[in-house]
Amino acid sequence: MGPMPDLLFDRYLALLGMEPAPPSLDNLNRLVSAQLMRVPFENISKLLRKRRGGTWTVPSMGEYLDGIEKNNFGGTCYVNNPNFCQLLKHLGYEVDLCGAEMSKPDVHVVSIVYLSGLEYLVDVGYGAPFYESMPRDLDRDLEIRWGRSRYVLQPQDDHGRSRMDHYHDDRLIHGYTVYPTARALDYFEDVVHDSYSDSATFMNTLVVERFYTAHSVRIHNLSLVESPHDRTSPNQTICRDSLADTVHREVGMPVDLVHEAIEGLTLEADIYS
């Protein structure tokens, strides 16, 4: 991403309900919380982009903000995290965009923020309850509990890499390893392009995750989970005919756009496979 007009960042802050403030840990955490609660993790906008013949790239910040403002969209990791990273840089934070390995290298992306000689992991693109930045300078595991899930950030290994593991019902189901090397967004161009291929996970599933002050809503294919942060919630099965209406009711996305996005999908791919 090249230089962007200040007006875009002013608009971004306004959508988050935030005002410019000098870099600090408290202000950083306020921004992270505002982003997480305003901007969902979702692939509906990605499906629409492909269906309408858009380029297989990360949307511009203007397109990203349009989606948030008009349709309550957000994006997957390669949309939410790079744009938020740009906002932090604009506000004066020292921050790097870094790749993370899941099943393959660089299929996830995060930010590392440097404040007062310490490093903090910021990830607003994992569909997880990361309401604040997370210290990377750990001497023991950092655990975040949410409903039936636990997220465990481990201390850095000998190469400075951070490991995040996601447990559901105490079973390890997913995770990623952060490689702390600063990267420009175009470094990930091939990975982003491949994520639009017909066989790619996000082209064969539907996922929407929205966080609020003390609960979250997760729609994955035909399953709905509403999770208070401090207790478990059962899965609810959604009838396919009412899926678009459910997405609209829970997160405010337009029914017609959801219908268009999921038309013809089998809705069988698992984002954790």
133 to 32, 141, 144: CA distances (angstroms):
7, 15, 12
The one-letter amino acid at 92: G
Residue 161: Cβ within 10 Å count:
17
DSSP string, 39-67: S-EESHHHHHHHHTT--SSPPPHHHHHHH
Chain segment 1-32, per-residue pLDDT in tens: 456 789 999 999 999 999 999 999 999 999 99
Tell me the whole-structure pTM to 2 decimals: 0.95
- Which H or E run contains 191? helix 189-194
pLDDT at 161 over 60: yes
**Domains by residue range for the chain, with CATH:** 6-262 (3.30.2140.20)
Residue 55: Cβ within 10 Å count:
11
Q: Please report, to the nearest 10 degrees, the dihedral formed by the alpha carbons of residues 61, 269, 262, 80 taken in order.
A: -10
DSSP string, 108-166: EEEEEEEETTEEEEE-SSSSS---S-EES--SS-EEEEETTEEEEEPPP-TTS-EEEEE
Chain segment 130-159, per-residue pLDDT in tens: 999 999 999 999 999 998 899 999 999 999
Token couple for 74: 């957000």
Q: What is the pLDDT of residue 228?
A: 82
The one-letter amino acid at 60: S
Q: What is the pLDDT of residue 2?
A: 52
CB 251 within 8 A of CB 210: yes
